[in-house]
Structure 1
C-alpha cells in the first residue's frame, strides 16, 4: 500500500473503509454525451444514475480555496521557522507532479512511500488525495521560495486511521517527505514538522491534536517527530506496515 511520512516517510492508503464496495453490474458504466459524466446501469429500480467526475485540477483549487473539512488551507499563509520562511501550497497536479515523481523515485523515499516507478503511479496517488470533499489536501512545502518537501494534511477523524486509535473530532493528520537528500539528516524535518503541526493548531481552533503514523522501521522519521514535540502513543497495525502513532497535543505544545 502507498504511504505515511517522511524523511523518508509513508502513509496510509486513503480508500474509504466504510464503503460497502462496488455493486455488481451487468452492463457497467457508459459514457454520457454531457462530458465528464458516466452513466451507471446498475440501479436497483432500473433507472440510470449519473456520476459527475470532476478533474483533479478543479478539486485541487477547491481544496485550497474553499472551507472544506480542513478550511482554506491555501490562505494559511507563511510561518517563520529557524530554517527560514515556510508555507504549504496546495499541489497543482499538472505542474507539480514531475517534481514529486522525482522525489518518490529516490530510494530512501521509495522504501516507505512505495510509489517509485512511472510518473503515472505518482500522479494517480496525488489525484486520489483530492477525492473526499477536501478531507485531505496534498501540498508542496516551500522554504524561502523553493519547493523542497511534499505533505499530505488530512482529517484523521474522517480517515480510515480513525478505526485504529481513539480518534477525537477534528483530529488532523500529516504525512511528509523531504525531497532532496541534501535537506535530510540535519534536523530540518523536525523543524518543519513542528512548524506545520503548530500552523494546523493555530489555523484550526477546533483541532486539539495533530497525529502521525510513521513506519516503525523508519527510525529517522520517528526521531524527527519526537524532536518536533510529538509524543509516542502506541504501536498500530495499518495496511502494509506497523506504525508508531505519534501525537502533538495543543495543551502540551509549549512544553514539548
Structure 2
C-alpha cells in the first residue's frame, strides 16, 4: 500500500503552510504492523504497549473497534500516517473514577509517529487539527498522559490545555482487556 492510497476518513482539514490532515478509523488488520512499529519504540514507552506483538496490537485495536465508547484513529498528513489518536467517552473509562465527567466531555490520547526529520511547528499544527476534530459537538477534552511524561504534559499546556491534578487511574482487569494502574496527569481543553 502506498501513501497515496485513499482510505475512508472521518475528518479532513487543510492547514495553511502545513498540509492536509485526515483522520481515519484504525483498521486493525491493515494498521497493526504500522501501529506496532510506533508503540514498540522506546519513545512511546508511556503508551504502555512496548512489549506487545503485532498480533496483540491487532487484538487490542479489534477490541477497541468493537466498542461504541472508544475509538482509534490514524492521522495522516498529505496521505502519510503521522499519529495515532484515540477518543473515548470518559463515563465508560477508568478516568471517570478520577474526576467528575461533564456532559460534552471527550477523552483523548495522542501518539506521534517516530520521525527522522523533525519539522518546526509539526506537533502544534497536527494537535490543533486533531483537537478541532475532537471538539466537534463537544465542549471539553480531557487527556490523561502518564504523570512522568513531562514532554507530553508540556505539549498539552502549550496547546491550550489546562493542566489538572495528578491522579491514579485504577487497574482494569477484564477477560478482554488488562490495563495496569497508572499515575496520570489530567489536562482539560474547553471549547
TM range, smaller chain: 0.7 to 0.9
For 1:213 and 1:154, the matched residues in 2 are separated by 11
Aligned twin of 2:190:
249
Alignment-derived partner of residue 213 in structure 1: 144
Kindly state the Cα deviation for residue 228 of structure 1 after the two structures are TM-superposed: 0.8
Q: In structure 2, do the counterparts of structure 1 residues 120 and 184 end up closer, same or farther at CA, with 3 Å as the change threshold?
A: farther
Q: How much does 1:184 deviate?
A: 5.6
The alpha-carbon distance between structure 1 residues 212 and 184, as it changes in their structure 2 partners (threshold 3 A), is: farther
Aligned partners of 2:58, 2:169: CA distance in 1, in Å?
A: 23
After superposition, the C-alpha distances for 1:34-55 in whole angstroms (9 at most, x for unaligned) are xxxxxxxxxxxxxxxxxxxxxx
| Greater relative CO, 1 or 2 (CA 8 Å, sep 6+) | 1
Matches for 1:129-144 after TM superposition, within 5 Å: 129-133=64-68, 135-144=69-78
CA–CA distance in structure 1, aligned partners of residues 105 and 14 of structure 2: 21
1:26 aligned partner:
none
Match of 2:34 in 1: 99
Cα distance, 1:244 vs structure 2: 1.0
Aligned-residue offset at 1:213? 0.6
Task: Give TM-score scaled by structure 1 length.
Answer: 0.62
Preserved CA contact (<8 Å) 1:191 1:228: no
Structure 1 residues 177 and 185, CA gap change in structure 2 (3 angstroms)? farther
Q: Does 1:189 align with 2:130?
A: no
Structure 1 match to 2:103: 169
2:57 to 119, 122, 139: 122
**Match among 172, 175, 178 for residue 112 of structure 2:** 178
Q: Deviations over 1:74-93 (max 9, x none)?
A: 44333426532112110111
Equivalent-residue separation in structure 2 for 1:210 and 1:183 (angstroms)? 29
Shift of 1:189: 2.6
More strand by share: 2
* Matched positions, count: 173
2:13 matches 1:88:
no
Partners of 1:222 and 1:99 in 2: CA distance: 25
Whether the 8 Å contact between 1:187 and 1:224 is mirrored in structure 2 is no
Indicate how the Cα distance of structure 1 residues 153 and 79 shifts in structure 2: closer, same or farther if over 3 A, else same.
Answer: farther
Q: Give the distance between the partners of 1:236 and 1:185, measured in 2 at CA.
A: 33
Task: Please report the TM-score for the alignment, with normalisation by the length of structure 2.
Answer: 0.81
